[in-house]
Chains A and B, each alone.
Chain A
């Protein structure tokens, strides 16, 4: 209980910290040349937040076709917390109740054996890894940095509809990215973004005026008008 309380406090602090930045429209003014400085890949029991799972369901299963999602994964404190924060996502599966099931039976047998009065949707997450990467921008004389937390896992999902059943295995990937100048302190953070929200990369916060200031002071390299690459705002591919 104590642990839960301290985690709750940490999350509130994080929310306040992120809330410091007012969201702005897409800031794509700077041109970064990200160099990988630090990289760590660790196996984890379960995904910290089922963003990739939500995205997979959204793209394949019609809305209002089920009333509950059975999530087969190792239950831990993060999984319980994730369920609590899920309704914050805009996608329809996030608004449904998520029932966590320990992975004792396979996803398929659970979907077949579910005797509810609605079509069961069972989604399993395993082979989970957390990748932590730290990049520095060569174009800013290595003063601008990006911290990436990426979780990857295997997703197996079964929607046991008799007329049009769906089953698919995909490699789920979701990430959080924090771009800051010199130190990750309030007022020095350029942007905070997440993927996937609504199946896309979403910028949760951007300090447009700070970016403009750094560009004016030539501390960041201005993106030329001709360089139009929607993926260039992200980070280079991480090692396997």
Chain B
């Protein structure tokens, strides 16, 4: 009977205490800046441009892009000409022994290659339009990967993370300096402010340290003019 009671007490102890231990949370602080700097991708990060070297986010030389565009266009033309020539020969030939399946395979491969090259050409032409600066989404893709890598490392255990924001000493990338962000500083009106706010995701890149909030007072200059 006593043994039974002991077993019951032991069972009750486990029934109440085990879930408590399992749900217990540890509070930790993490230096995100250090983790970020230790990430392999950060060795490719260029402070001046805010881009990653050797990735699609890298700012490309406009002359190289123009050369690439011409060479891809020539390659597409060659593929099309070869394809047409082969078909012309086939249409005029009286030889029935040729393997039709191999022709369809050739045409499919050729079409796939042309499609692939056309996509490449479009990418290059888009870059020429933006003067060699790839869209901001190319940077975001890499940043998202870095972020998920860091967070997967942090969240390995059941913890709550209190972080401190990383510092990024990036200057204003040249692409943005010609856009609305700079206009906003020149013309302090509400329209520019709205345009500026639409770029909220990019604001961080403008300041040497994004953990220092910047408050812009629209009325200051007007009130001083008055």
A166 to B100 CA separation, bound complex (whole angstroms): 15
B84 and A165 contact, CB distance less than 8 A: yes
A167 proximal to B (CB < 8 A): yes
B108 proximal to A (CB < 8 A): yes
Main secondary structure of the interface of A (DSSP, over half): mixed
The 0/1 profile, CB within 8 Å of A marked 1, for residues 89-121 of chain B is 011100010001001100110010000000000
Say how far A79's CB is from chain B's closest CB, in angstroms: 23
A193 to B194 CA separation, bound complex (whole angstroms): 39
B100 and A108 contact, CB distance less than 8 A: yes
- Identify which of B84, B96, B100, B104 gathers the most chain A CB atoms within 10 Å of its CB: B104
- Chain A residues with CB under 8 Å of B100's CB are 106, 108-109
Contact count band on B: 10 to 19
B87 proximal to A (CB < 8 A): yes
A160 to B89 CA separation, bound complex (whole angstroms): 11
A164 proximal to B (CB < 8 A): yes
CB-contacts of A63-117 with B (<8 A) = 106, 108-109, 111-112
- Chain A residues with CB under 8 Å of B90's CB are 108, 112, 165
A164 to B107 CA separation, bound complex (whole angstroms): 15
A169 to B107 CA separation, bound complex (whole angstroms): 8
Could you say which of A106, A156, A166, A169 contacts B87, with CB atoms under 8 Å apart?
A: A166
A183 to B20 CA separation, bound complex (whole angstroms): 50
A162 and B88 contact, CB distance less than 8 A: yes
A202 proximal to B (CB < 8 A): no
A164 and B84 contact, CB distance less than 8 A: yes
B104 and A160 contact, CB distance less than 8 A: no
Say how far A166's CB is from chain B's closest CB, in angstroms: 7
A165 and B88 contact, CB distance less than 8 A: yes
B107 and A112 contact, CB distance less than 8 A: no
A209 proximal to B (CB < 8 A): no
A232 proximal to B (CB < 8 A): no
Q: Which residue of B lies closest to A163 (CB)?
A: B88
Q: Which residue of B lies closest to A108 (CB)?
A: B100
- Identify which of B90, B108, B111 gathers the most chain A CB atoms within 10 Å of its CB: B90
A162 to B100 CA separation, bound complex (whole angstroms): 19
Q: Which residue of B lies closest to A161 (CB)?
A: B91
A164 to B83 CA separation, bound complex (whole angstroms): 10
Could you say which of A106, A160, A162, A167 contacts B107, with CB atoms under 8 Å apart?
A: A167
- Identify which of A106, A111, A156, A165 gathers the most chain B CB atoms within 10 Å of its CB: A165
A169 to B100 CA separation, bound complex (whole angstroms): 12
- Chain A residues with CB under 8 Å of B87's CB are 165-167
A156 and B104 contact, CB distance less than 8 A: yes
Q: Which residue of A lies closest to B108 (CB)?
A: A169
A162 and B92 contact, CB distance less than 8 A: yes
- Chain A residues with CB under 8 Å of B111's CB are 168
A169 and B91 contact, CB distance less than 8 A: no
Q: Which residue of B lies closest to A160 (CB)?
A: B91
A165 to B91 CA separation, bound complex (whole angstroms): 8
Say how far B154's CB is from chain A's closest CB, in angstroms: 31
A180 to B225 CA separation, bound complex (whole angstroms): 61
- Chain B residues with CB under 8 Å of A108's CB are 90, 100, 103
Q: Which residue of B lies closest to A107 (CB)?
A: B100
- Chain B residues with CB under 8 Å of A111's CB are 91
- Chain A residues with CB under 8 Å of B91's CB are 111-112, 160, 162, 165
A-B contact pairs, 19 of them (CB 8 A): A106-B100, A108-B90, A109-B100, A111-B91, A112-B90, A112-B91, A156-B104, A162-B88, A162-B91, A164-B84, A165-B84, A165-B90, A165-B91, A166-B87, A167-B87, A167-B107, A168-B107, A168-B111, A169-B108
Q: Which residues of B contact A (CB under 8 A)?
A: 84, 87-88, 90-92, 96, 100, 103-104, 107-108, 111
What are the 6 closest A-B residue pairs judged by CB atoms, nearest first? Answer: A165-B87, A165-B91, A169-B104, A160-B91, A108-B100, A106-B100
Beyond the given A156-B104, A165-B91, A168-B107, please list 19 additional residue pairs across the A-B interface where CB-CB is below 8 A: A108-B90, A108-B100, A108-B103, A109-B100, A111-B91, A112-B90, A112-B91, A160-B91, A162-B88, A162-B92, A165-B84, A165-B87, A165-B90, A167-B103, A167-B107, A168-B111, A169-B104, A169-B107, A169-B108
